Chain A
Amino acid sequence: MSAHLKAFACGARDTLPMLLGALPFGIIFGTLAIASGLSMPATLLMSALVFAGSAQFIAVSLVASGAGLAVLLATTLIVNLRHMLYSASLLPYVRQLSPRWKVPLAFWLTDETYAVVHRHYLDANASNEHKHWYFLGSCLAMYSNWFVCTLIGALLGSSLPGMAGWGLDFAMVATFIGIVVPLLRTCPMLLSAVVAAVVAVAANGLPYKLGLMLAALAGVIAGVLAERWSLESGKLTGGVDEPV
């Protein structure tokens, strides 16, 4: 096997645990998208062209609740902004590549691939020359897995039309809880979540799902303020997560 193929295969292999986590997520996304009223081609196209799990989930739940296009796009922007941190962190390693490489690698940059690839770039034992092939292997593993899972979910959702009434929307709530709760390791994070929750519930009646934006903004501000305050008063004992 040539060296690039080897690096490619290693990237795909090291992404396997992430695939396992994304598996139910993708299937549930496909099912929910159909139950929310999105057509089959739109569901598949969203996974093929957007390729951003949490943003897609949120978009589908907003579609189901009748949100407008502007709110949907603004939410996508906010939810995906974190990817800018990932590309900033990987930039030193990919800047010498041609656009032929940079465009697809950027398109496929997800939380999971970032986690795997960043670790690999820091690994001094691996050959630097082929690390972008490793990156590509991780990307394609995630992408094909996400697309196939969406397809399975969408087929399930359209063959069982009654599924909308099953309460599958709870699957999304449970998924988000599973993502958020382990992140609540510091007081500012916890406060951010509490403020976002209170504002979201209080502002739930606002039109165009504006309550979501307002709550997210309030949560972020609360977290940043609490962090500053706890740093200033020297009360922060636990380690705050570094932003990559």
Chain B
Amino acid sequence: MSLFEIALIGGMALITFSIRYGLFAVGHRVRFNPLVSRALTYVPVAVLTAIIAPAMLLPGDGSWQLSWQNAYLIGGIAAILIAALSRNLLATIFGGMLVFFLWRWLLA
């Protein structure tokens, strides 16, 4: 393992555990500022979408690829449609990947 990997895993483990254990350690009831707890509910959607959008529109080298030849875009649109209709994680993963690989294969 490289030094970078040790620092990465050690840091991630420490941060994650502190978040999960902090309140258990303090032990008395905690009331969150309502604004903070509202903001936290938007975190998963905001973070994940911030990863999804560039991965679909600017895949690879980071150049703009708004084209039907972009398999990431087509596969992503398919996955969004499947997710919206089925709300099923497994169906979205497998359906999206199927469209992505088929599209690549058709274009090759």
Contact = CB atoms under 8 A, between A and B. Distances in A.
Interface of A: 20-21, 24, 28, 38-39, 41-42, 45-46, 49-52, 54-56, 58-59, 61, 63, 69, 72-73, 75-88, 91-92, 94-95, 99, 102-103, 105-107, 109, 167, 169-184, 188-189, 192-193, 195-201, 204-205, 211-212, 215-220, 223-224, 227, 241, 243
Interface in B1-43: 1-2, 4-5, 7-13, 15-17, 19-25, 27-30, 32, 35, 37-43
Contacts, number: 276
B46 interface: yes
18 contacts: A24-B93, A46-B9, A75-B47, A79-B43, A84-B20, A91-B24, A91-B29, A91-B30, A102-B21, A102-B25, A103-B21, A183-B45, A184-B45, A200-B54, A201-B54, A211-B50, A218-B46, A220-B42
A170 B41 CA distance: 26
A204 B11 contact: no
B90 interface: yes
Given A42-B5, A182-B83, A204-B58, 17 more contacts: A24-B94, A75-B47, A79-B47, A84-B19, A92-B29, A106-B24, A176-B48, A177-B92, A180-B44, A181-B80, A181-B83, A200-B51, A212-B51, A219-B47, A220-B43, A243-B37, A243-B38
Contacts of B92: 174-175, 177-178, 181
A39 B1 contact: yes
Contact of A85 (B12, B40, B54): B40
A191 to B, nearest CB: 10
Contacts of A94: 24
Given A38-B5, A201-B58, A205-B62, A83 B20 contact: yes
B78 to A, nearest CB: 9
Given A179-B89, A181-B80, A49 B13 contact: yes
B30 A88 contact: yes
Interface residues of B, number: 71
Contact of A197 (B15, B22, B53, B93): B53
Interface of B: 1-2, 4-5, 7-13, 15-17, 19-25, 27-30, 32, 35, 37-58, 62, 71-72, 75-76, 79-80, 83-84, 87-94, 96-97, 100-101, 104
B24 A170 contact: no
A220 B32 CA distance: 17
Contacts of A42: 1-2, 5, 8-9
